[in-house]
């Protein structure tokens, strides 16, 4: 499911409350893998700002070839197969951009699922 391509996903990511929860979820998943997600002192104001916070870290992890990157994908539940499928289907060629977007989408799904079952 691609929440960012749906109207509902965009609505949630325009809401600062959900943006903050997604950033918290990303930070928690990073922490569980022994990684640091530098997000600053204030919550993100927009999806683009959250993406810009996440992108450099993902780019660095990918280029380093660190095994922590695979652990992070597993922890967040973003499969390498889905990453490759998305790159082929949408003709996106920047791995770090695709992975960053997919992490945000998956963390939004986690936030919404937690909220639904509370």
Percent of the chain clearing pLDDT 70 (strictly above): 92
Lowest mean pLDDT among 42-46, 71-75, 94-98: 42-46
Q: Do 32 and 26 touch, CB atoms closer than 8 A?
A: no
For 85, the token pair is 């499928």
Average pLDDT over residues 22-47: 92
Q: Do 23 and 50 touch, CB atoms closer than 8 A?
A: yes
Name residue, tokens 């509902």.
8
Average pLDDT over residues 93-113: 93
pLDDT at 34 over 60: yes
């Amino acid at each position: 499911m691609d929440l960012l391509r749906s109207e509902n996903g965009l609505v949630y990511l325009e809401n600062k409350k959900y943006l903050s929860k997604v950033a918290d979820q990303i930070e928690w998943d990073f922490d569980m893998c022994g990684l640091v997600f530098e997000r600053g002192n204030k919550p993100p104001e927009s999806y683009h700002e959250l993406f810009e916070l996440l992108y450099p870290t993902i780019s660095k992890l990918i280029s380093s070839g660190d095994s922590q990157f695979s652990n992070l994908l597993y922890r967040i539940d973003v499969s390498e197969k889905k990453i490759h499928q998305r790159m082929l289907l949408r003709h996106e060629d920047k791995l770090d951009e695709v992975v960053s977007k997919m992490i945000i989408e998956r963390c939004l799904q986690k936030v919404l699922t937690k909220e639904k079952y509370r």
